[in-house]
Amino acid sequence: MQKLTRDDLYSLERYAELRPEFKARVLEHKRNRVVPVGPMATLYFEDRLTMQYQVQEMLRIERIFEPEGIAEELAAYNPLIPDGSNWKATFMIEVPDPEERKRVLAQLVGIEDRVWVQVGEFERVYAIADEDMDRATQDKTSSVHFLRFELTPDMVAAAKQGAMIGVGIEHDLYRHQVVPLADNLRAALVADLD
């Protein structure tokens, strides 16, 4: 999947005009890319369109229009676009109450390394977490992590040929899985393998 360039982005003025319909299109697109895993963890599988939206929103919010600032945003978000042999996801632990969240994040240290995907009968592929920076300490994990799941060529081929795709978490205190993924989710992930 191609990375975004400055030429792929709308100017601030043009984005202001297009934003309502662009946002609606992206939100509809994202519906096929969200996988709740148990009661409080969610995987948001990213792609070129979701990252374009993220960059456009950051440029809009921060009022960035200088080439250097645009380049910084692209450098921050392009790594979350799949490379054709992997899936990339934002992993969120969603606990609304701040005190409860603090307690849960202290219990789930290391959970980001125990998130997996599986294609067909192949072995599970565990996430490579937070390649950009550490988001956890020895005392607590973060509520947001960025994950990469690197697939073998055989896994990619099997996924494209219709093999089951599943996801899960295998932490001592949080074990949940979604196997198999619904057809719409599966189709979205297979499209990321081009």
pLDDT of residue 187: 97
Predicted local confidence at residue 32, as pLDDT = 97
Q: What number is the average pLDDT over the span 137-149? A: 93
Whole-number pLDDT of residue 15: 97
pLDDT of residue 138: 83
CB-side neighbour CA atoms (13 Å) of 81 = 19
For residue 1, the model assigns a pLDDT of 84
**CB distance 50 to 33 below 8 Å:** yes
pLDDT at 129: 95
> Structural domain boundaries of the chain?
6-191
pLDDT at 114: 98
pLDDT of residue 132: 75
Q: How far apart are CA 166 and CA 169, in angstroms?
A: 11
What pLDDT is stored for residue 73 in this prediction? 96
Q: pLDDT tens for residues 48-83?
A: 999 999 999 999 999 999 999 999 999 999 999 999
SS3 sequence, the chain? CCCCCHHHCCCHHHHHHHHHHHHHHHHHHHHHHEEEECCCEEEEECCHHHHHHHHHHHHHHHCCCCHHHHHHHHHHHHHHCCCCCEEEEEEEECCCCHHHHHHHHHHCCCHHHHEEEEECCCCCEECEECCCCCCCCCCCCCCEEEEEEECCHHHHHHHHCCCCEEEEEEECCEEEEECCCCHHHHHHHHHCCC
pLDDT digits (tens, 9 = 90+) for 80-114: 999 999 999 999 999 999 999 999 999 999 999 99
Q: Residue 140: what pLDDT?
A: 93
Q: How far is it, in rounded angstroms, from Cα 130 to Cα 102?
A: 20
Output the pLDDT for position 111: 97
**How much is the average pLDDT of 16-31?**
97
Phi then psi dihedrals of residue 115, to 5 deg: -85, 135
pLDDT digits (tens, 9 = 90+) for 163-194: 999 999 999 999 999 999 999 999 999 999 98
pLDDT on residue 98: 96
Query: What is the model's pLDDT at position 64?
Result: 94
- Whether the ω angle into residue 180 lies within 30 degrees of 0, i.e. cis, is yes
pLDDT value of residue 155: 98
The residue type of 158 is A
Task: Answer yes or no: is pLDDT of 135 > 80.
Answer: no
Pick from 187, 128, 126: nearest CA to 159: 187
